[in-house]
Amino acid sequence: MKLLEERIQKDGIIKEGNVLKVDSFLNHQMDIHLFNKMGQEFKRLFGDKPINKILTIEASGIGIACIAAQHFNVPVVFAKKAQSINIDGEVYATKIESFTHKKTYDVIVSKKYISSEDHILIIDDFLANGCALNGLIDLVQSAGATVEGIGIAIEKGFQAGGKLIRSKGVHLESLAIVESMDTTTGTIKFRPQ
């Protein structure tokens, strides 16, 4: 998606350790006009699927998912990063390892809000090693629901997550795929799509 690539190029900040900071428009301050264009694009990409619900994970997926949901006319469910003590039989639970925060979260979703009848579009802001996405897929499958697709804002194409998830046969679309980043020059190369 040209508009998003241009925005990453303009406002993204490359930090040591292959970190790409996009918190001026994506995951701290949020450009709702851009989110709306992204929602339109997700609708173009997944509009032929019988999607009846969007699933995301707190916190930075929620804004993108909610704006996108308007284009699909469906509700959004967000998976919660839980304290273990809250987990009981009323939730589906999985574990997600966060490399950024160097810890493992329990992630839960209430059994009331995903069922075997559901056809789900998963939306998140970032895809790097794929741990969060694998967790969300696991939650959907625990409920016997169908993953109709996965829509990501920014994929780090040089990390393993995208390849791993596409190899499972899931329909994954990332609006911008960063192929490489150069800390010294500030250059970002995108995978042509």
Residues 6+ apart with CB under 8 A from 110: 90, 91
Among the listed residues 40, 113, 138, 159, the single contact to a copy of itself using CB under 8 A: 113
Size of the site for a copy of itself (CB under 8 A): 33
At residue 160, the 3 state secondary structure works out as: coil
120 lines the binding site for a copy of itself (CB under 8 A) = no
115 binds a copy of itself (CB under 8 A): no
Write the single-letter amino acid at 58: E
**For a copy of itself, which is the closer residue by CB, 56 or 134?**
56
Per residue in 176-190, is it b (16+ CB within 10 Å) or e — as a string?
bbbeebeeeeeebeb
- Using CB under 8 A, which of the segments 44-52, 56-64, 124-132, 164-172 binds a copy of itself? 56-64
Provide the minimum distance between the beta carbon of 37 and a copy of itself in the complex, in angstroms, as a whole number.
12
**C-alpha–C-alpha distance, residues 94 and 40, integer Å:** 30
Closer to a copy of itself at the Cβ: 94 or 162? Answer: 94
Run of H or E including 102: none
CA angle 135, 130, 20 (to 5 degrees): 130
Which secondary structure element, helix H or strand E, spans residue 110, and what is its range? strand 103-110
Q: Does 15 bind a copy of itself (CB under 8 A)?
A: no
Q: How far is the CB of 75 from a copy of itself (least distance, A)?
A: 5
Q: Which stretch binds a copy of itself (CB under 8 A): 75-83, 119-127, 135-143, 177-185?
A: 75-83
CA–CA dist 149, 130 (Å, integer): 15
Q: Is 51 in the site for a copy of itself (CB under 8 A)?
A: no
**Cβ count near 164 (within 10 Å):** 17
Residues that bind a copy of itself (CB under 8 A): 23-25, 28-33, 35-36, 58-59, 62-63, 65-67, 69-70, 73-78, 80, 83, 101, 109-110, 112-113
